[in-house]
Amino acid sequence: MANKVAFLFPGQGAQVVGMGKDFYDKYIEAKRIFDEVEKISGMPIKQICFEGPEEELNKTENTQLAIFTVSLAILEILKKQGIKADMAVGLSLGEYTALVYAGILSFEDGVKLIQKRGYYMGNLLPKEKYSMSAIIGVESDIIEDVCKKISSKENFVVPANYNYSNQTVISGNELAVEQAMEELKQIGAKRVIKLKTSGPFHTIKLMQAKEQYEKELKNINFKLEQPVKVIKNIDGNFYEANDNIKEILAQHIISPVRFDKAIKLMQENKIDKFIEIGPGKTLTGFVKKEIPEADTVNINSTASLEECLKEKGKDK
């Protein structure tokens, strides 16, 4: 394989009914992960992933654990095949998969945390109608200015996800988001896309979820002295041994995701292969937009996994 590898783990929005079933049916390592997650969480995760229905899978309290499980199941197979990474990064909930991969967070604690995180983020939401929208083709500082201008006592809109330099997701109450979309179109946005998620994720509006989640984090032990580097969503830097990881993960619920900075850090660290592990192709898509020549791989089916293993064989 390539000299320097990064593992990328997807977040909410990548889910699709049927995900992980081919791995479960074919690989004992994947089966073991699904069975373990069910045992720890008490949730019918196989049914949610393999059969849905879609509206069940799309509930935040189910989605987060479902994606986490699929990524970990694939990871377990890669581990057995001796495929390793020099660093890992995830989008939002994907950061937890990265922490488990690095040995900073135990598998069991990861399952417990994601179950609680998904529940709080899905259920402790303000009652207003919120929406999210992806803005493509406008620099993030201009988007920040537009959001500031629109925000008032009644209106709330802020950047929630900085995906790459030319795409930022805004989040807020429906009216404010619509207004921002309109203004940004006039300024010259190439595209504005209303997203399927409804919660004001990664904004101050999730303060109640953050406060509840902090209580869960108190009972967890993290080991930050691990050799695998993990990039933080909160600022796009590596975790350091003296970081207050519990505070960072709690803060992450109400803070924007800086995937744009994570891409820059991987580029600076001369990563020459980006492997996205789990459903969808979102993160490698972001990387390609920023680094068109990047060597990217998606492992989201047994066919794509076998293709990757074949490549590894050739590289030997």
Can you list the positions of beta strands (E) in 12-126?
A: 87-90
For the chain, give the number of residues.
316
Which residue type does 237 have? N
Among 97, 71, 65, 80, smallest CA distance to 29 is for 80
Is 252 among the catalytic positions? no
Catalytic residue among 71, 140, 202, 252: 202
Distance CA 168, CA 191 (A): 11
202 catalytic residue (yes or no): yes
Eight-class DSSP state of 19: T
d(CA 14, CA 113): 20
Q: Which of 92, 131, 171, 255 is catalytic?
A: 92
- In 40-166 the beta strands, taken as DSSP E runs, fall at 87-90, 130-136, 157-164
Conformational region of residue 224, where left means phi above 0, alpha means psi within -120 to 50, and beta covers everything else: alpha
Contact present, 67 and 12 (Cβ < 8 Å)? yes
Name the residues annotated as catalytic. 92, 202
